[in-house]
Structure 1
Amino acid sequence: MADALLGPAEIRELAARLGVTPTKKLGQNFVHDPNTVRRIVAAAGLTGDDVALEVGPGLGSLTLGLLPVAAHVHAVEIDPVLAAALPVTVGERADAARLTVHPADALRITAAELDPAPTMLVANLPYNVAVPVVLHLLAGLPTLRGGLVMVQKEVADRLVAGPGSKVYGVPSVKLAWYAHARPAGRVPPAVFWPVPNVDSGLVAFTGREPPADVDRRAVFAVVDAAFAQRRKTLRAALNGWAGGADNAEKALVTAGINPQARGESLTVEQFAAIAAAGIHHGYGGKLSGTREEVDR
């Protein structure tokens, strides 16, 4: 495995050969440190039966680390030049038979396009779409049992935050609907090319059954409303969702929630209870505006 991984010289040579210049628009920062790749793969805890889903493989650093330990690797790459080059790079260094490259936008990929079905998401995610990608994949790929993603440290902190934290918000609650998440370490800027101006963080998560028997969209509508005006009490913040502050208070009381509480103090189970109470009282059912991918 050590000989197969890409180092700084190989990354730059490959990029030059392909005429690739990393772009901020696509959030491209390529990992060039083999030890970081080994650390990510080890922390992911894949078994030989796992099918890994990688988003934004870039030049193939992490892909080459995943192939020896997974039964199959799906690599979803939006850049057509990188997508075309990846099988060639892998073929020179590893078994390309267990790799499927999808030249696609990860925000549009569906379960029907991924065969065999992925069981683990392991990715160095572009900073600008990290939260939308994670939530989209968890919503659309029920076969995922967990994963490990590398994201901007600030985003990592949000994803793993619990109630009462200053950075607890929409991403925290929505990820908690699908999985138990925990911090899995910090990654310094120096292991990337080009070097970003922020640290990165590893987030590990393990899938779980939904915490309540309530429509996910209904719950997420409450979450969006609660954090759209996070400094307001829930009675005020849920005014629009419920069609009036009195209706909001009625739903909150039914759910056993203090109307004067704020969204940042509630668990995902409590948000689900509010959604259920709203449905019981006949409001809070306008789901078209729910944005599962919103990162606030």
Structure 2
Amino acid sequence: MSGDVRLLGPGDIRSLAEAFDVVPTKKRGQNFVIDANTVRRIVRAAGVGEDDVVLEIGPGLGSLTLALLDQVRHVVAVEVDERLAGALPGTVETFAPSRVADLDVLHADALQVTELPGPAPTALVANLPYNISVPVLLHFFELVPSIERGLVMVQSEVADRLAAGPGSRTYGVPSLKSAWYADVRPAGRVGRNVFWPAPNVDSGLVAWTRREPPAGADRKRVFAVVDAAFAQRRKTLRAALAGIAGGADRSEAALVAAGVSPQERGEQLDLAAFVRIAAALDVAAPEATDTGR
């Protein structure tokens, strides 16, 4: 868009890290992207453009931030590392001088954020820290309903779980909870050599488009049922849901009322089935199902 954006290469990343006295830490999941083609690919796959306001979680040294600023209207970046948060505007001033005013940086733990600076985001694009990727994604799905679409880079195993469908061995809690908010789809793989330091695992891209949640359903109750169903995957739903239903007989009655076999297991059911089960449990044991995340 601006014509003056220069993306970061391996030498730039190491120079910036040295200048800011930053040593990547596993605790914060810091693996910085050093390949300009990879951040271009992420922005392209995210489908964002000049009208978008993009929320970026964990911008780090600014590789993806710069690629976003080259294509979108505004970036709101949330960074937990105080040094990185403080340094990012200066990096943008150096590598994309005409776009400095189009960046807002919030120094905060992403999971503790309750309000964002700047215009309302229309998309979320991020290289998420592997250790908290699913909680962060779900948090911002709930917090920022203006987000219409997005793409994240996560550990490949997590990418598989987020995009999995019923019957898959990777289908579970992340699959169902993300499906509450959006249609999620795999968007490719990323090798280890594009990071510094290189992680011990491969990465995957996951894209999504926002959709309306199931009509008339209570998210907390549905999520409580999902959590219980997958707490011990080998259990039948009759046994797995006994704790929140007030006993196995009551869970069986609720499952039958929802049109689900009590001998079924959670990995075989789609979100609509869990919505029906939660509604039936509201009738069977309303006091037992109001404590979900």
TM-score, structure 1 normalization? 0.95
Residue 41 of structure 2: which of 27, 39, 42 is its match? 39
The residue identity in structure 2 corresponding to 1:278 is L
Alignment of 1:106-255 (within 5 A): 106-110=110-114, 112-255=115-258
Matches of 1:29 and 1:7, distance apart in 2: 14
1:224-277 CA distance string (max 9 Å, x none): 000001101000000001000010011101110011000000001100110011
Match of 1:98 among 89, 99, 102: 102
- In structure 2, the CA distance between the partners of 1:6 and 1:147, relative to structure 1 (3 Å rule), is same
Tell me the percent identity. Answer: 63
Opposite residue 26 of structure 2, the aligned amino acid is K
8 Å Cα contact 2:245-2:284 kept in structure 1? no
What letter corresponds to residue 96 of structure 1 in structure 2?
V
Amino acid at match of 2:121: P
Q: Which amino acid aligns with 2:63?
A: S
For residues 242 and 283 of structure 2, the distance between their equivalents in structure 1, rounded to whole angstroms, comes to 17
Deviations, residues 191-237 of structure 1 (Å, cap 9, x unaligned): 00001111100000111001231110000000000000110100000
Aligned to 2:271: 268
Counterpart position of 1:279: 282
* Secondary structure of residue in 2 paired with 1:107: helix
How many residue pairs were aligned? 289
Q: Any gaps of 5 or more consecutive residues in structure 2?
A: none
Question: Given the alignment, which residue of 63, 66, 73 partners 1:64?
Answer: 66
Change in 2 beyond 3 A, CA 1:158/1:191: same
SS of the aligned residue for 2:286 comes to: coil
The alpha-carbon deviation at position 285 of structure 1 amounts to 4.2
Query: 1:2 and 1:198 mapped to 2: Cα distance?
Result: 34
Instruction: Return the offset for 1:48.
Output: 1.6
**Contact kept in structure 2, 1:255 and 1:274, CA below 8 Å:** yes
> Which among 258, 262, 273 is matched to residue 261 of structure 2?
258
TM-superposed deviation, 1:50: 1.1
Give, in whole Å, the separation in 1 of the partners of 2:148 and 2:288. Answer: 30
Letter in 1 for 2:33: V
Change over 3 Å in CA distance of 1:203–1:284 after alignment to 2: farther
Q: What residue number does 1:294 align with? A: none
